[in-house]
Structure 1
Amino acid sequence: MALFVTVDQDGGSPSEGRRGPECGRGLAALLIGFALCLAPAGAAPASPGAPPGAGTAASAESLSAEDRAALERAFDAADRGQAAGFESAKASLRSALARTLAEWKWLDRQADGASFDRLAAFIEAHPSWPRLSLMEAEAERKVADRPAADILAWFERHPPRTGEGHVAWGEALIASGRLEEGKAAIVKAWVELGLPDSAERAFLARHGEHLTQADHEARLTRLLWDGHTTSASQLLSRVSPGARALAEARIALQTRAPNIDGIVGRVPAEYQDDGGLLFDRIRWRRRLGRDEDTWDLLASAPSDPQTLYDPERWWTERHIQARNSLKAGKPELAYAMVARTGLTEGGSFADAEWLAGWIALRHLDKPQRALEHFLTLEAGVSTPISKARAFYWAGRAASAMDDPASARSYYLAAGERPFTYYGQLALEKLEPALARVSLDPMPEVSAAERAAILQRPEISAMRLLTAIDAETDLRRFAYELDDRLETPAEFAVVGELLRDLGAPHLSIRTAKYGLFKHYPLLDLAYPTMDLGDAEKGPGPELALVLGLSRQESEFNPAAVSHAGARGLMQLMPATAKITARRHGLSYDQSWLTTRPEYNVKLGRAHLADLLEEFDDSYIFTIAAYNAGGGRVREWIQTYGNPQAEGVDAIDWVELIPFSETRNYVQRVLENVAVYRARLAGEAVPVSLIADLQRGSSKGRPSYAAYRPEDSPTRLAALSPASLSPAGRPDVDPLREPDRTAPVAAPAAETDASAGPD
C-alpha cells in the first residue's frame, strides 16, 4: 500500500528578545555541533567546497568580520532606539543585503518613529519579508497627513487594517466626492475596529454626524463581547435606555459586581433573551463554581450565529460544561450542549463536531447520528489530523451500524495519513498484520533548483541573522518563508539549510509544512540523533525518547518554555534536580540547555521513573510527563483504568480533560511509530493499539529497547546551533499544563493545577 506522509501543522508565536554576542557565540557553537548530529541517515558534514547552504557554520558566517560587527551594532541600536548609533552602524556596512536587513530591523522595532515615506518604501520594495503588517499598521497612522489622492492610492494597494486606517481612507473618500463609501469606512472604524482612547474625542467631533444611535449600540455590543467594560461604560449616554440597562447588567456580570439579581432584573423584557446577557450569566456562574447551574442554559442556548454573536466564545463554555456533564454521567445533556453550536469552520468547529459525534457513538449508542457529525467534520476540515480523525470515527460509526464495506472505505481514507494517530488506528482496523509505517525517500533536487532557491534574498538574510546570532529574527524569517514555499524542492532545500545553520526546530517546522502538503520529508521532519552515553544502559526505548523530544522542543537543545522547562526534553529544573539525585547523577541547571546528552540522560531517567510508577503504561507515562503524575492518578480514579478489563484505552485518552495533554499524548504516540521505522531503517508494523494497552493483560511491550548500535540509520550527532533559548513553538501557553511544580516521589508529589479547555 502506498502511503503518503502527512503530519499535523503546528507552530507558535515567536518571543521577543535577542541574545547578545557574548553568550551567543558559545551557544552558536553548541547548537551547530548539535545540528550536525541531526543530519539525515548517511549524511556527512559539507566539505569546504560545498555550495552555499550545504554546510553549517561556514554558510552562516558569510559576512566579513567588519560587516558582522557593524550589523550587530545596528541591531543593538535598533533594539535600544538609538537612531544615531544605528545610522552610523548601517552606513559602515559594505553588504547591500546587510544594509537592507538593518533597515528592516529598525522599522520592525522603531516603526512609530519612522516617517510614512520610509515605511512605505520598505513595504513596497520587500513584500515577502516578515512582520510587514506591523509596518503597514504604523503607515496607516501616518498616511492621513498626505493628500487625498496619495491616501487613496496607498489603500488601493494596501487595504486598511486598523481603525485609524479606515478613518484616513474614509476622509480621503469623502474629500474625493465619494461620500457614501467614506461614511461606510468611518462607521466601520467606530463599530468594528475601534480607535485609541486618545483619538476618540477628536473622531466624534469630526464624524459624530455620520454615526447613528444604532451605530453606537453596535459598538457597545462589540466592546462588551471583548470585555472592555471601561470603554463600554463611557458609551452608555449615547444609547437607548433599554440598551443601557442591558449593558449595565453585562458589565456587572463581567466585573462580578454585588446585587447581580437586582441589576439583571432591571433589564427590559425585550432584552432578556439577548445572547450576550445569556453568555455572561453562564460564565458568571462557572466562575463562581456553579457549573451545574449552567447546564440547562447551555443545552437550550441558541445556535444561530447572529444571536450568538461570537460562536467561538460560546464554544469555550459549551466545551467545558459538556465534559463536566459527561463526567457527571449526563451524556444526553452533554450532547445537547455541543450538537448545535453555530460554528461552521476552524478548530472549534472541528472539536465540536467530533465531540458531538463521539458522545452520540460511545455514550448514547446512536451511530447514525454520530456518522452525520463525523462526515460534517470531514467536509469542513483540511489538516491531516482532523481528516484522519473524521474518517477513523466515521469508520467506527459505520462498523457499529453493521456496514463493514463503508467502514473499510472510511478506514482506508484515514489510513492515507499514516503518520497521524488516527491514521495509525485506522490501519490496524484494516489489516493489522500488513499495516506498516514506511519510509519514502526525500525529494530529488537538481543543482540548478538548489542554486535558484538559495539565491532568494530572504534565505541570504537568514544566513546573516545566523551569523550575528539573532535567533528571534531568524525564526520570524523562517516562519514567513514557510508560508510562501510551494514545491517539494523548496521545502527540502530550506529545511536542510535551517538544519545546517543550526536551527533544528525551525527545520522540523518547515518539514511539517511540507508534509502537510503530502511531500516526503521524513529525514527532516523526524530527525534521529546520537547522544553517546545518554543512550547507553537500560531505559525507555529510543523511539519514545525521540518522539517525546520532538513534541517537547523539536530538538532545540537550548529551548526554554514560558513555564521554565529546559532543553531537549523540557525538564523543569526542580524535577531534573530530584531525578539527578535519585539516580546518583551530578546536577547543574545550566547543563540542561548546554549539554544535550545530559538533558536526555535525565529525561530518560525521568521517563523510566514514570514507566515504573505506571506499570509500563505509555499513555499514563506520556500524560504524566506533560501534566503531572497526580493528575493522571486523578483521571484514573475518575475515568477508570484502561489497564483493567472493560475500560477502552482509546476512549480514555479522549476523556483527558486538558486539550493540550490530550493532543500531547496522541502526538507523542504517533511519533513513536514513525521513529521505530526511522531507527530500523525500514518499514515496521503499526502497533499503536499495543502501545495504548501497554501494562495491561491485553498489551504487549513491543520494540522494548532500540539500542543505538542496532540502528542502521544512527546519525552523526545532534548539534547545537546559533539559537537562543526559545519557548516551545507547538504549544499554546493558555492551554499548557503548569509543570512548575517539582516531580517528587508519588507519595509526596504535589501537582500544579492545570486549567480546563
Structure 2
Amino acid sequence: MSSMDVKTVLRKLASTALVLPGLAASVACHASDNDGSGWDQARAQLSASQQGPMSFAVERWKLLTSSNRFAFNDYAGFVLSYPGFPDEEKLRRYAESALDRDFAEPARLVAFFDREPPLTNPGRAQYALALQALGRPEAAQVARAAWRGGAMSDSAESSLLAAWGNTFTQDDHDARMDALLWAGAAGQAARELAWVSPARRPIDAARLAALQGTDPYAAAAGISGQVLNSDPGFVYQRVRQLRKNGDGASARALLAGRPPLARKPLDRAKWVDELLINARGAASAGDTRSTVRIAAGIDDAFDQGEDVSQMPYDLRDDYTSLMWLGGTQALWNLGSGSDAAPLFYRYGAAARTPGTRSKGFYWAGLASAQAGRGPDAQRYFAMAAQYADQFYGLLALERLGKPVPRFAVDSTAQPTPDERARFQNAPITQAVREVARNADWRTTVRFFKEIAEQQQSEGQHMLVADLARSLGRRDLGVIVGQAAGARGYLDFQHIAFPLIPVPDNSRDTWTMVHAITRQESQFAQNAISHAGARGLMQLMPGTANEQAGKLGLSFNSQALIDDAGFNIQLGSAYFQRLMSYYNGSYPLAVAAYNAGAGNVNKWLRANGDPRTGGIAWVDWLERIPISETRNYVQRVLENAVVYEAMNPDKASYTGPNPMSHFLGKSSPG
C-alpha cells in the first residue's frame, strides 16, 4: 500500500463516529441447551445483521499493528480513541519508537504520555523534554527517571545533560551506568563511565570490557574474582562473552559455580534468559549436574516472597522453562526427587494458567514420592487437585482417591451497576460484537482473548459470558471460561465447555468430537490455521478428501467451513481410524491427530511404548519433542473427562479414575 493510500484510509477511519449501543439484555442461547443448537441460532441472527461503524476501527487496528513505520500521531491517536483494543502495548511502543524519526508537537506528546506513561526509556526522555518545552514543573523529575533508566537517543542524552546535568547525583549516574550496560548500549556507557562513582568504576569498566569483547579482568583494576563473580551485571556480560566466543563450557562453569549474588540483577528477564540458555547448553552437553545447579541458583535473583507469577510474560516464560528443565534433569537423569521437587514447585508457583500450575504441583508430588517424602507428596497432589478440570489436576484427584466433580454449579455472580456500565461503553465490547459477525478467525481470537483477559471480578467475567451467548460464539465462551479459571473462578465450566450438535453417524465419538473440537478451534466454524487446516475439527483438505473417499462422500473443501456436520463426520471418522490403528489408545490417536502417525511411531521407537509398561504415560507424554503436540494431548484428554463428567448420559466410561481410563492404564493417578 502506498503512503498516499495509507493516509487516505487513516483519514476515513479517523472520521468514523464511534457508536456504542448497549449490550443486548436478552440472552439468545444457553450453555445448557441439550445439543447446543441455541448457540447456532444466535450466531445466525448476528450474521444477518448489518456492518457497524466499529468495523472501520478494527480495520485501522489491523493496519497499524501490521507496521511500525507510521507516525507518532497515528499510533497515539488510535490508542487514545480506542483504549483497550488488543496489542495496545505494541502500539504504544510503536508510537514511542516513532519519536526517534518524527517530530511531535510537545503538547500532543505530553497529552499522550499524561494518559499513557512511557513504556521505554527513550520515550521517557522525550516526555521530559516535551514537559520542559511546556514549562511543566515535573519535567525535572521525569528527566531524572529517564537518566537513571539508561539508553536514549544521543540527541536526547545531550539535551538532558544540558538542561539538568548539574542536578544529577552520583547515585543517578551509577544507576544509569547499570541500566546502559544491561541494555548493551556500549557507546553511551563508555561516555558515562567517567561519571560513575569510584566504588563502582572498576566493576563497571570490567562489564564494559566484556560487552566490547576485550579482557574484563584487565579492566577491573585489581578487583578480586570473588567480588566480580558475585556482581550480576559482570556475570551476565562475562557469560555472554564466553558463550559468544564459543566457550560455552566456561560460561556454564561460571554460572554453576558462582558465589551468591551481592545484589539483584537490574534486568531479571535478561538474567533468567541467560541462565536458561546455558542450562539448555549443559543439558545438550550431557552435563546434568550443571543444568540442575544453574536452575537451582535462581533464587538470589529475587527477594524472598516475590511472586514470579505476577511478573511480565517473557520473564515468567523463561523462568518456568528453566525450572522444568532443571526438575526433569534432576528426576530423570540423576534420579533425585529431592532436588527435583522444589524446582517443579517453583515451576507451578510461577505460572498463571491452571494447566501449568497443576502440572508443576503434580510433578513436585511425583518427585517427593520418589524421594520417600510421602506427606510432601500428598500436599503437592492436593495443590494440583485444586485444578480439577486440568489433566494433572485430574490425575492428582486419582492419587488422592477423590472423584471428579460433576461441574454442575454455574456461577451466580452479578456485575455491579458500575461494572456493567463500563463494560457496555467500552470500545472493545462493541468491537467484539463486530468481529464476531464476520471477521477472520485470527482477528476474532485476538479480540476475544483481549476482552476476556481484561476482566477482573467474577461479575465482569459473567458479562463476557452473557455477551458470548448473545453472539452465539462458543469460542468466546471457551475463552472467557478459561480466563475465569485462571483467576480462580471455577464455576464457568458450562460456558467453557459448550455443546455442539453431533450428526447421528458420529454419535459413537460424541466425547472425542467435543474434546478435539474444543482444543482445535474452540468451536469456531470459520477457523483456518496457518497450515491450512479448516473448520471445527481442523482438517487438512488432503486428509479430509481422503476420508470422504473412504466414506463414499463427495468432497468440497469449502464445505469444511460451511457445513459443520460434514466437518464433524469426516473428523470423527478420521479419529476412529487412528483409534483402530493404535488398538484403542486414546493418547496415541490424539497425538497422531495433531502431529501425524509417522511422528508418533518415531516417538514410540525413541522413548519406549507406554502401552507395554516400557515407560510411564506421563513421562512419555512429557518427552514428546513438539511442544504443541505435548500440550495438545493433555488438553484433549482433560476435555474428554470433563465433558463426560458434565454429560453423564453421553459418557463412554462411568467408572472410577477416568483420566487413567483414557490413558489406558490400570493404576490411578
TM-score normalized with structure 2 length: 0.71
Which residue pairs with 1:523 in the alignment? 494
Whether contact under 8 Å (1:398, 1:406) holds in the other structure is yes
Distance in 2 (CA, whole Å) between partners of 1:43 and 1:645 is: 39
Q: Does 1:438 align with 2:406?
A: yes
- Deviation of residue 614 (structure 1)? 3.2
| 1:362-408 per-position Cα deviation (integer Å, ceiling 9, x unaligned) | 44343333333344445544432333233323333443344444433
Whether contact under 8 Å (1:611, 1:621) holds in the other structure is yes
3-state SS, counterpart of residue 564 of structure 1: coil
3-state SS, counterpart of residue 556 of structure 1: coil
| 1:308-341 per-position Cα deviation (integer Å, ceiling 9, x unaligned) | 961342254246446545xx6x643543343324
Q: Does 1:350 align with 2:320?
A: yes
- Deviation of residue 672 (structure 1)? 1.5
Distance in 2 (CA, whole Å) between partners of 1:44 and 1:549 is: 14
| 1:81-127 per-position Cα deviation (integer Å, ceiling 9, x unaligned) | xxxxxxxxxxxxxxxxxxxxxxx89988999888969966x766765
- Deviation of residue 205 (structure 1)? 5.8
Q: Does 1:619 align with 2:587?
A: yes
Whether contact under 8 Å (2:578, 2:589) holds in the other structure is yes
Which residue pairs with 1:95 in the alignment? none
Q: Which moved more, 1:268-277 or 1:541-550?
A: 268-277
2:295 alignment partner AA: V
Residue of 339, 355, 358 corresponding to 2:296: 339
Distance in 1 (CA, whole Å) between partners of 2:403 and 2:210 is: 59
3-state SS, counterpart of residue 255 of structure 2: coil
Q: Provide closer, same or farther for how the CA distance between residues 107 and 565 of structure 1 changes in structure 2, counting only shifts above 3 A.
A: closer
Residue of 125, 131, 134 corresponding to 1:167: 125
Structure 1 unaligned residues grouped into runs of 5+: 1-16, 18-34, 48-52, 80-103, 225-231, 250-263, 286-292, 701-757
1:411 alignment partner AA: F
Distance in 2 (CA, whole Å) between partners of 1:169 and 1:447 is: 38
Which residue pairs with 2:560 in the alignment? 592
Residue of 532, 538, 545 corresponding to 2:503: 532
Q: Which moved more, 1:571-580 or 1:299-308?
A: 299-308
3-state SS, counterpart of residue 463 of structure 1: helix
2:582 alignment partner AA: F
Whether contact under 8 Å (1:547, 1:672) holds in the other structure is yes
Distance in 2 (CA, whole Å) between partners of 1:473 and 1:156 is: 30
| 1:273-299 per-position Cα deviation (integer Å, ceiling 9, x unaligned) | 7534533654676xxxxxxx8467435
The 5 A counterparts of 1:76-225 are 79=60, 127-128=83-84, 132-133=88-89, 141=99, 145-146=105-106, 155-172=113-130, 174=132, 176=135, 181-187=141-147, 191-192=150-151, 194=152, 202-203=155-156, 206-207=159-160, 219=180, 222-223=183-184
2:124 alignment partner AA: H
- Deviation of residue 673 (structure 1)? 0.8
Which residue pairs with 2:342 in the alignment? 372
Which residue pairs with 1:629 in the alignment? 597
Distance in 2 (CA, whole Å) between partners of 1:666 and 1:222 is: 39
Residue of 298, 317, 324 corresponding to 2:252: 298
Q: Provide closer, same or farther for how the CA distance between residues 528 and 340 of structure 1 changes in structure 2, counting only shifts above 3 A.
A: same
3-state SS, counterpart of residue 436 of structure 1: coil
Structure 2 unaligned residues grouped into runs of 5+: 1-8, 10-26, 194-204, 221-227, 229-233, 303-307, 309-315
Q: Provide closer, same or farther for how the CA distance between residues 590 and 220 of structure 1 changes in structure 2, counting only shifts above 3 A.
A: farther
Distance in 2 (CA, whole Å) between partners of 1:656 and 1:185 is: 47
3-state SS, counterpart of residue 605 of structure 1: helix
Q: Provide closer, same or farther for how the CA distance between residues 371 and 134 of structure 1 changes in structure 2, counting only shifts above 3 A.
A: closer
Which residue pairs with 2:5 in the alignment? none
- Deviation of residue 639 (structure 1)? 2.0
Q: Provide closer, same or farther for how the CA distance between residues 269 and 679 of structure 1 changes in structure 2, counting only shifts above 3 A.
A: farther
Distance in 2 (CA, whole Å) between partners of 1:308 and 1:70 is: 43
Distance in 2 (CA, whole Å) between partners of 1:143 and 1:37 is: 52
Q: Does 1:670 align with 2:638?
A: yes
Which residue pairs with 2:198 in the alignment? none
Which residue pairs with 1:568 in the alignment? 536
3-state SS, counterpart of residue 633 of structure 2: helix
Which residue pairs with 2:386 in the alignment? 416
Distance in 2 (CA, whole Å) between partners of 1:339 and 1:468 is: 50
Distance in 1 (CA, whole Å) between partners of 2:356 and 2:72 is: 46
The 5 A counterparts of 1:275-674 are 275-276=236-237, 278-279=239-240, 281-282=242-243, 294=248, 297-298=251-252, 300-301=254-255, 304=261, 306=265, 310-318=270-278, 320-321=280-281, 324=284, 331-341=288-298, 345=308, 346-377=316-347, 379-431=349-401, 434-444=402-412, 455-458=424-427, 459-467=429-437, 469=439, 475-516=445-486, 517-533=488-504, 535=506, 541-581=509-549, 584-674=552-642
Q: Provide closer, same or farther for how the CA distance between residues 650 and 462 of structure 1 changes in structure 2, counting only shifts above 3 A.
A: closer
The 5 A counterparts of 1:20-99 are 39-42=31-34, 55-58=42-45, 68=51, 74=56, 79=60
Q: Provide closer, same or farther for how the CA distance between residues 567 and 312 of structure 1 changes in structure 2, counting only shifts above 3 A.
A: farther
Q: Provide closer, same or farther for how the CA distance between residues 455 and 137 of structure 1 changes in structure 2, counting only shifts above 3 A.
A: same
- Deviation of residue 418 (structure 1)? 1.1
Q: Provide closer, same or farther for how the CA distance between residues 520 and 579 of structure 1 changes in structure 2, counting only shifts above 3 A.
A: same
| 1:498-537 per-position Cα deviation (integer Å, ceiling 9, x unaligned) | 244243222210111122222312221112222315515x
TM-score normalized with structure 1 length: 0.64
Q: Provide closer, same or farther for how the CA distance between residues 161 and 689 of structure 1 changes in structure 2, counting only shifts above 3 A.
A: same
Q: Provide closer, same or farther for how the CA distance between residues 530 and 59 of structure 1 changes in structure 2, counting only shifts above 3 A.
A: closer
Whether contact under 8 Å (2:477, 2:496) holds in the other structure is yes
- Deviation of residue 155 (structure 1)? 3.9
* Structure showing greater relative contact order (alpha-carbon pairs closer than 8 Å, 6 or more residues apart): 1
Question: As a proportion of its length, which structure holds more helix?
Answer: 2
Q: Provide closer, same or farther for how the CA distance between residues 582 and 521 of structure 1 changes in structure 2, counting only shifts above 3 A.
A: same
Whether contact under 8 Å (2:595, 2:629) holds in the other structure is yes
3-state SS, counterpart of residue 500 of structure 2: coil
| 1:250-284 per-position Cα deviation (integer Å, ceiling 9, x unaligned) | xxxxxxxxxxxxxx8x7765589753453365467
Q: How many pairs were matched up?
A: 581
2:566 alignment partner AA: Y
- Deviation of residue 413 (structure 1)? 2.9
Q: Provide closer, same or farther for how the CA distance between residues 392 and 46 of structure 1 changes in structure 2, counting only shifts above 3 A.
A: closer
Distance in 2 (CA, whole Å) between partners of 1:70 and 1:590 is: 29
1:168 alignment partner AA: Q
2:451 alignment partner AA: L
% of aligned pairs identical?
26
Whether contact under 8 Å (1:276, 1:308) holds in the other structure is no
- Deviation of residue 629 (structure 1)? 3.0
The 5 A counterparts of 1:264-283 are 269=218, 275-276=236-237, 278-279=239-240, 281-282=242-243
1:498 alignment partner AA: A
- Deviation of residue 688 (structure 1)? 1.8
Distance in 1 (CA, whole Å) between partners of 2:176 and 2:457 is: 47
Distance in 1 (CA, whole Å) between partners of 2:319 and 2:53 is: 50
Q: Provide closer, same or farther for how the CA distance between residues 396 and 311 of structure 1 changes in structure 2, counting only shifts above 3 A.
A: same
Distance in 2 (CA, whole Å) between partners of 1:456 and 1:131 is: 20
Which residue pairs with 1:735 in the alignment? none
1:41 alignment partner AA: D
- Deviation of residue 674 (structure 1)? 0.7
3-state SS, counterpart of residue 610 of structure 2: coil
3-state SS, counterpart of residue 562 of structure 1: coil
Q: Provide closer, same or farther for how the CA distance between residues 105 and 381 of structure 1 changes in structure 2, counting only shifts above 3 A.
A: closer
